[in-house]
Amino acid sequence: MDATEAGVVWIGRATIDVILCHAQTTLPNECCGLLIGSEHRIESAFAARNLKASPTRFQVDPIAHFAAIRSARAVGRRVVGAYHSHPTTAPMPSSIDIAEAGPGDDLCVIVTPSRTTMAGSLSDWFGAYRFCRAGVTRVELAVAEATLGRRPR
């Protein structure tokens, strides 16, 4: 599938590794951070402190959020969403995630670090979603290896 097709978002292997490492180092609590890129491409992850320090809740530190915005703007990108972990449950939105989702259609990536040692596809331990007024839509994540350094067309 082409990266411009609706519902597909490309993510680099290095960004996957950054998110997994963050999730594993914050266990047993949820981790959280911001995603930097463009509409169909996650180019980097910006780790943030979870102000809730909880295994079932997260709140991105606003200082980190503003730092991520500045970092993204410096390279001509933007914050396209957020990521967080579900330490012991599947990488799908919880009722809390849905209730606390923002008003836009930013991307939400959820990782389950306890599943990272299992064989299987990326979707077994990573889930990507868009929250909007109409509800929650699952988004396909596709791994982009060497193309992430280039600007999308």
Write the pLDDT tens digit of every residue in 90-140.
999 999 998 888 767 789 999 998 755 555 677 778 999 998 777 888 999
Write the pLDDT tens digit of every residue in 13-55.
999 999 999 999 999 999 999 999 988 999 999 999 999 999 9
Neighbour tally for 122: CB within 10 Å:
17
Cα distances (Å, whole numbers) of residue 71 to 57, 65, 74, 94, 130: 26, 10, 5, 29, 23
pLDDT of residue 99: 85
Q: Please say if the pLDDT value at position 148 is more than 50.
A: no
Q: What is the pTM of this model?
A: 0.86
40 by DSSP, 3-state: which? coil
79 by DSSP, 3-state: which? strand
- Write the DSSP assignment of 21-32 as a string of letters: HHHHHTTTSPPE
pLDDT of residue 150: 43
